[in-house]
Structures are given as C-alpha cells and as structure tokens.
Structure 1
C-alpha cells in the first residue's frame, strides 16, 4: 500500500479494510515473530531484576503480565480485582497464578514455566474471610521466594495492596518498588515488537478510516466512536483505555468522552484513540476533521495549522540520545493565547499501553524530570490547540526514535488547510 501522506477523502479511503466491510483484517506476520518478541520481553524483565538486585518480581498489573508472559486473560476486570498475578524469578521459574477455571489458557505459552490457581482475596468473593485469605496468599509467595530466590528476599512488586505487603514483610520478604523496573523494561522495543506494533497501527488506521466514512451529520459521538471498536475487535484487537471523542462545542474544554451528542455538519470532530490492538500493542493517535467533511472555517483552519506546526516542529528536534530537558528547551513555544487550553504533556512513551517516559511542555518546567531518549523507544507526540470560545484541534502521531531522528509509524492523512 502506498504510504504517502495525503489529505482528502480518497486518500483516507485507501486505509479502509481492503477485505471489505464484512471481513476482518488478518495479520500477515509469522508465528516466529511473536515467539521472538515473547522471549525478548521476558529477558528485558529479568535484566531489570539483575540491575536492581532483586530475586523476583510480583506482577498484578495485567499490562505487565501480558508483556512478560503474553497472557491476556480478562485484563480490564483484573485491573481492579486481586484475582490474577505472576511471580517471575531472576534464576528460577516464571509462574502464572491464574483465575480458577482458566488454567488451560496458559498451557501453550512458551515463557510460562508453571501454572497455579490464584489465591484471590478481594472483598467481593471473600468478605469476612479476607484476612485469612491474605495470610494463605502470603505463605505461598514467601515459600516460593525461599525456594527459588537463592537467599535474596528482595522482591519487586508493580502493584500491591497494603494488607498483602504487610503480610509479606512479616515473612521476611523485602519490598522493592517495581513500576520503574517494568516501565524501563517495556520502553525499548525489539525489531519483532516493532513488527507487531506496525500491524496494530495498520488496524487502527483502518478503524480511523471507518470512523471518517461515518462522521456524518445526525450521528452521535458514540455512534462514530463505535466504528473504531468494531474494526479493532473484529481484527484481533482488545480494548480501549479511553473514549475520547467529542464534537463541536464539546471539544473545548478537552477530556469530554463520547456521548449521545448529535454531530452537526461543519462541526469539528476531535478524538484520541488509545487503542489496545492486535497482539496487545497500543496505537495512540489523534485526529480532527469536520463533520460531513465540509471545508474548514477560517478559525478551524487557523487552529489546525497551528496544531500541525507544533507537531512538525517537535518531530524535527526529537531524536535518540537527546535528554528530556534538551527536548523541552528546543520544543515548540506555545503562544500565550493557547496556553490555558494546552494538552497535559508534550509526548509520552507507548508500548502495550501509554508508558514511560512522559515529558511536559516548556510551560510546566516543575514537572520535568531527568532522562534520555534511547534508540528504539516509541513515543507519541501531542498537540491540543484551542482559544477561548473555539473548538479544540487534537493531533497526535506515533514515532520510533533513532539516532537520526523520529520515524513516523502512522501515515493516516492530516487534513487540508
């Protein structure tokens, strides 16, 4: 497919699913690509364990479990219930503690050495027996650390509830904050990961083209947003982190999620997809266009051109080897009239979800922290432009960082201004 950037309706239609409205997109990638990515990701976790002198890491965040072991079971539910977790040792087994009745989902995964039933202790299921369940859970985890930890009781944990942490500490297990380990591990992508991510982006672009076709007067924000879900789910994608699509006066202030608001011809439709697609990889893109694809008004055109200027400038200075602070110093200066309506950050990392690093705008120096962009990081470059009483233009592109600069991974066309 020709990936040259365009701007009109015909150019966007070229991103539609070529198999037609009644068929899902099928990944062309061989199984070996996924197998190599799995091996690489688990190695990245264990490298972080070695660097932080930890014998193991206890994972509850389902995104981290997916990254390390490629087990995606019920991710949204397990975001908020303590029913599923993994314990990965530096010099020992990778153990998944699966929700009862789901053990078969992990049997063919090459990076999983052992499958156990999880010991959940959430109030929904256990109520007054909660303390008893926590003690049973801690006994099992502490015994495994004693068996496989080689005498090292330092265990990283990405997310832990206080009762569970206190129970482990009473058993001599030493807590190490694990979010840094997982975020650092996930931040550098292998060539195989990039193949998986590029396919997820291809599905996302087909979904956005479907949204574009259906961005017509009389449709609600929810109806337009549903087109994105449809193409993603039927093509092997998984879920969405947000529902950020709004139209006309609801675009400003930003962060209003899709509603039953009926879009009118000529109003600006702005969205941010935050899509967890095929293979569990995130595509995080933003676009704005007019309902009915009418020509922009003078105000819409001016704001859109300003957002493009911000994106293009920041792409031009971004490269591997640059410090976060250097990027902030060289980044596009937001005019004062747009500052009250700016986005919350200049760019952020992305992998199996939005991730580290997060770099603020020059207007927020107190939020900056130290760090360096590394080769093979993937980041999303952001822009949100509005003024008092206007609609908001939301643009975002996803790029791979190299020593030569930022390589755009998405090619879905911008609008004509």
Structure 2
C-alpha cells in the first residue's frame, strides 16, 4: 500500500494531511512503512517474570496448581502465543503451573518450537486434546487419558488437591473431580493477578497504543465521502497486523444513523459527508496488550452540526469529569456516587460501563454507569491498575458519540496513556 492510500495531494503533488495534530501519529519514515518497536528485550523479559510471579503469588492464597486454557491467560503466564483465536473455541493447548513445582506448557502437536527461548516454561509436552472436532467417538477415551495425566501431576507435585481452572468443559471438570481434585475459580485468580501492572507492562502497553493511534491516523485520513465503514475499519487492521499486533476483538465502527443504537458492526454502508463516524478499537496489539480507544469525527472532517456539537460536548464532559475522580483507594461505590450524571434524554442509549480494566484484553474490574450500579461488584481502584473511561452519548433520532481513553492509576490520580487528539466541536 503506497502513501496515496493514506494521504491526499494538492495540485503540486505535495502531501496534505487533514489535521497536523493527527499526522504526527503516522510513521515519520512514511505511512507506507510499519512502525518498529523501540522496546529492548530486557523490558519484555522483566514483564514475563513479573506476570508469572503475579500468578504464583495468587496461587499461594488459593491452590497448589493452576490449569489455564484461556489463550490470553496463557500469553500472560508465558508470553506464549499460538493460534490464539482458534484456541479460544478449540481447547487444543493448555498450561499447568504448580505452586511448588514446574510450569508446564502442553502445546499443540508440532508447534512446540514456537516456545523456544521463553524463560517461564520449565517443560513442554504435547497436549492431550479431547475436543469432538478431532476426537469424535473417541472423546471418552481421550478425556480419560487427559484427566489421568493432569490429576497425576497435581497429586504428585502439589501440596494439596486444590486445582484452579480458568475455562473447562463440564465433562473435563467432572473427570478431574472424580479423580479427587477440588476445583476452584482460576479466572478470578488470573484476572486479579493481571489487574496490577508493572512498569515494564506499561511500557509494552504504551507501544501497543502507539501502534493503535497510527492506525487511527490512517482511519482519520481516509474518512471521506464514498468510503464504506469496512474500508475505514480495515486501516486499523492493516496497521496492527504489519506492526506485529494480534487481532481486533470487535467490529465497532459505524456512521450516521447506524451509530444509534450502538453495537452495530461495521458494514458496506457508504458514508456521506458530514455524517458522524464513531468507533471503538478493542485492539489486541504488539506484545499481546490491548489498546481500547474510542473516537468520533465527521466524514470529510467538516464542522459538526449543532446537534453533533451538543452530543460531543456532553461526551467530553463525562470523560473529563470521571477521569478527574480516579485515584488509588477510591471504592467503586464512592466513584459511582461522585460520577457524572447522564441527562435523562440520553439514558435509553447509554453505555452501561463507566470504567473497566484493561491489560491483555478488557478485564476486571467493570464499574457500571450510575443507573446500573445496583448490580455492580464491590472493589477499589488500586495503584498501577489500567482503567478505561467510557462515554456513549445519544438521544432519540440522533447519531451516537463514542469516546474512550485509557489511563494508568498513579499514586496521585490518573495518567492518560493515549494522546490522539479529541475533535474541536
């Protein structure tokens, strides 16, 4: 893809970017080249050690072994990545970490070499898969072999028979219980471990956000009349993929009337000048970290209408108000009591979350918007959490404005990790 796909040119042939503030997010070596990570290897190695240590520290409180099937948790534990999307719905690889013993990766057969050089893995074994896709009428036999293997390791090397598990089909859970293991919730253990970030993790996350914002700059530049929603969304995929990223969790880019109600997925709708384009990146980028950013702007970058300005200003007000509340030691209930109150006319179209955690994906905690807070969990904002502050503003018959920023909780408040400019309504 050459530069003409991301820049327009005046009659003299000179490149003209539509907003110099946003041009800065493209690769300074040229938009036709991928960004190159400046992260030294020592930062990644330090983050790997920290993450595995976080899991082991949580295991001390709950169990003698941890069985992981969720590919995001496996990536967190070992930095091991192999067919992550496929293994989200095909349980074909897993990890078993012993509190007082080795950390074992059970890898998809033939892919063991993908884990060379990963320091947290003590042993690699071939996975024993019992999914129906490959086992068919042999599921029962293969399930028994798998359960014998896992239970034998835990019984021989664990201090007790408490096994934490993040994701497991009912048949697997029953098989392990029948072999004398006591199963506890491994997803809670993993998410609580993941919720507190090290400085090295933040450095890795900053790079993912840098890549995401380069993709957003590409999206901004091609947001012209006649483009489809999918064409604009593809620019983010392109930048993420060529810069070493992973995937996009959603397809949340819409325009005009299709922005309301929210959660419609991008389509072949051809966008018209002046229509609002709104999106949520949900991007799993380089090093497996998430950049979850939302922006809204007009097609053709024309001045907003009076209604668009009203909605955009309300969304900014919500973001800035709630952002200013964040600090360590603030309980979710206290945040809710002080949070921005969404006007009644916007209530039917609200985004139910005011805040959520972010790491290698959207994660715990989730803090509901004030009208929905009666179903919120208890908890407290802690230093070194990364939280996303959300806003979705719309009313009957209007377009939606979607804004979101990603912040690090510091000793004194919140530091924004993203810097891509807001619009000037």
The TM-score with structure 1 as length reference comes to: 0.97
Report what 1:194 is aligned to.
202
Residue of 387, 397, 406 corresponding to 1:398: 406
Counterpart check, 1:181 vs 2:189: yes
Residue of 382, 385, 394 corresponding to 2:393: 385
Q: Distance in 1 between matches of 2:238 and 2:285?
A: 12
Residue of 16, 19, 31 corresponding to 2:29: 19
Report what 1:243 is aligned to.
251
1:161 Cα deviation (Å)? 0.7
Q: Does the CA contact (< 8 Å) of 1:321 and 1:403 recur in 2?
A: no
Aligned residues: 408
Q: Distance in 2 between matches of 1:180 and 1:254?
A: 29
Q: Does the CA contact (< 8 Å) of 2:73 and 2:190 recur in 1?
A: yes
Residue of 37, 41, 45 corresponding to 2:47: 37
Q: In the TM superposition, what are the counterparts of 1:233-382 in structure 2 within 5 Å?
A: 233-382=241-390
Report what 1:129 is aligned to.
138
Which secondary structure does the structure 2 equivalent of 1:381 belong to?
A: strand
Cα offsets for 1:196-231 (capped at 9, x unmatched)? 001111111111001000111101000000000001
Cα offsets for 1:72-119 (capped at 9, x unmatched)? 110000000110100011111110010011000112110000001001
1:404 Cα deviation (Å)? 1.1
Q: Distance in 1 between matches of 2:205 and 2:36?
A: 14
Q: Distance in 1 between matches of 2:38 and 2:154?
A: 41
1:173 Cα deviation (Å)? 1.0
Q: Distance in 2 between matches of 1:18 and 1:76?
A: 32
Q: Distance in 2 between matches of 1:128 and 1:82?
A: 17
Q: Does the CA contact (< 8 Å) of 1:63 and 1:352 recur in 2?
A: yes
Cα offsets for 1:320-365 (capped at 9, x unmatched)? 1100000000000010000001002101000000000000011112
Please provide the CA RMSD for this pair.
Answer: 0.8
Which secondary structure does the structure 2 equivalent of 1:79 belong to?
A: helix
Q: Does the CA contact (< 8 Å) of 1:289 and 1:415 recur in 2?
A: yes
Report what 1:4 is aligned to.
none
Q: Distance in 2 between matches of 1:230 and 1:107?
A: 28
Q: Distance in 1 between matches of 2:20 and 2:114?
A: 43
Q: Distance in 2 between matches of 1:408 and 1:21?
A: 25
Residue of 50, 59, 78 corresponding to 2:60: 50
Q: Does the CA contact (< 8 Å) of 2:367 and 2:373 recur in 1?
A: no
Which secondary structure does the structure 2 equivalent of 1:364 belong to?
A: helix
Q: Distance in 2 between matches of 1:51 and 1:241?
A: 32
The TM-score with structure 2 as length reference comes to: 0.95
1:366 Cα deviation (Å)? 1.8
Q: Distance in 2 between matches of 1:365 and 1:62?
A: 30
Report what 1:5 is aligned to.
none
Q: Distance in 2 between matches of 1:89 and 1:203?
A: 36
Which secondary structure does the structure 1 equivalent of 2:89 belong to?
A: coil
Unaligned runs of 5+ in 1: 1-7
Unaligned runs of 5+ in 2: 1-17
Report what 2:107 is aligned to.
98
1:10 Cα deviation (Å)? 1.4
1:21 Cα deviation (Å)? 2.4
Counterpart check, 1:10 vs 2:30: no
Q: Distance in 2 between matches of 1:264 and 1:376?
A: 42
Q: Distance in 2 between matches of 1:141 and 1:120?
A: 12
Q: Distance in 1 between matches of 2:68 and 2:172?
A: 13
Cα offsets for 1:362-385 (capped at 9, x unmatched)? 111222221011100000000000
Q: In the TM superposition, what are the counterparts of 1:137-148 in structure 2 within 5 Å?
A: 137-148=146-157
Cα offsets for 1:30-74 (capped at 9, x unmatched)? 10000000000000000000011x111000000000000100110
